[in-house]
C-alpha cells in the first residue's frame, strides 16, 4: 500500500519556529511544576497531561535543529503538518496523526551533501530520541513530585515511548531508518554498489 505524502499546513522560519517550540517547552515545564500543588486532583492531572502533550509536540523538531547545528547541518525552515511517519501508525491513529500540526524540518542541501554519515545519522536520530526521552522525563517528574495520577501518566508515557521507538525503527519513513540509511550508504560506497550489481 502506498501511503500519501505528508500534508503540510504551512512553514515557519528557523527563528520563529524555535521561538514557538521554546515557548511550548517552557509552558510545559511551568505546568508540570504547578500541577503538583493544585488542590483539584482532576485539574492537576489535566495540567500534567497537557504538559506531556506540549513536550511531545515541541521537543522533536527543535532537537533536529540543535543537534544539526552541532554537527554542521543547517535547516532552511520548519514545516508544520501531519506526521512524516504515517507508516508507523495503524488505522485510525494514522489518519489522526496525518492531520495533527507536527513540526518538521527542511535541511539545507549543501550542508547535507558535505556532512559525514555519522553527522547525518546523529541529526536524524535526535528528533525521535527527544520524542521518547523528553515526555517520559516530564511524566517521571510528575510522578516523583506526587502529582495526582502521576503513575498513570508515567505508565502511559513509557508505553507510548516503546511504541514510538518500535514504529520509527520498523517504518521506512521513520527517523531511525533515515539514520541507518545514512550509515549504510557510507559503509558501501556507490562504486562498490554498482560493481556488486553488475555481477548479477
Q: pLDDT digit string (tens) for 120-168?
A: 999 999 999 999 999 999 999 999 999 999 999 999 999 999 988 988 8
- Better-scored residue on pLDDT, 159 or 192: 159
Q: Could you tell me if residue 30 is inside a domain?
A: yes
Q: Could you tell me if residue 1 is inside a domain?
A: no
Q: Could you tell me if residue 95 is inside a domain?
A: yes
Q: Could you tell me if residue 155 is inside a domain?
A: yes
pTM of the model: 0.84
Q: For residue 82, what is its C-alpha cell?
A: 501531519
Q: Could you tell me if residue 73 is inside a domain?
A: yes
Residue 28 has pLDDT above 80, yes or no: yes
Do the Cβ atoms of 55 and 25 come closer than 8 Å? yes
Q: Could you tell me if residue 105 is inside a domain?
A: yes
> Can you tell me which residue has the cell 543547517?
74
User: Terminal CA-to-CA distance of the chain, rounded, Å?
Assistant: 29
- Integer Rg of the chain from CA: 19
Q: Could you tell me if residue 3 is inside a domain?
A: no
Task: Give the mean pLDDT of 33-49.
Answer: 94
Q: What is the predicted pLDDT for the residue at 187?
A: 57
> What is the extent of the structural domain holding 67?
8-198
Task: Give the mean pLDDT of 66-77.
Answer: 96
Q: How many domains does the chain have?
A: 1
Q: What is the predicted pLDDT for the residue at 132?
A: 96
Alpha helices in 10-116 (DSSP H): 14-35, 41-58, 60-71, 91-97, 109-114
Amino acid at each position: 500500500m502506498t501511503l500519501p505524502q505528508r500534508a503540510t499546513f504551512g512553514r515557519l522560519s528557523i527563528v520563529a519556529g524555535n521561538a514557538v517550540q521554546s515557548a511550548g517547552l517552557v509552558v510545559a515545564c511551568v505546568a508540570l511544576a504547578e500541577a503538583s500543588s493544585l488542590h483539584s486532583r482532576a485539574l492537576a492531572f489535566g495540567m500534567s497531561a497537557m504538559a506531556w502533550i506540549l513536550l511531545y509536540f515541541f521537543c522533536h523538531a527543535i532537537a533536529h535543529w540543535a543537534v544539526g547545528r552541532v554537527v554542521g547541518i543547517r535547516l532552511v525552515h520548519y514545516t508544520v503538518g501531519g506526521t512524516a511517519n504515517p507508516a508507523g501508525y495503524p488505522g485510525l491513529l494514522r489518519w489522526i496523526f496525518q492531520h495533527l500540526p507536527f513540526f518538521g524540518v527542511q535541511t539545507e542541501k549543501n550542508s547535507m551533501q558535505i556532512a559525514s554519515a555519522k553527522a547525518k545519522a546523529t541529526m536524524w536520530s535526535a528528533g525521535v530520541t527527544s520524542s521518547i526521552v523528553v515526555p517520559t522525563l516530564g511524566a517521571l517528574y510528575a510522578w516523583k513530585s506526587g502529582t495526582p495520577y502521576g503513575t498513570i501518566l508515567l505508565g502511559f508515557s513509557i508505553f507510548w515511548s516503546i511504541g514510538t521507538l518500535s514504529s520509527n525503527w520498523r517504518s521506512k519513513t521513520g527517523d531511525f531508518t533515515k539514520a541507518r540509511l545514512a550509515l549504510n550508504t557510507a559503509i558501501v560506497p556507490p562504486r562498490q554498489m554498482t560493481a556488486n550489481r553488475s555481477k548479477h
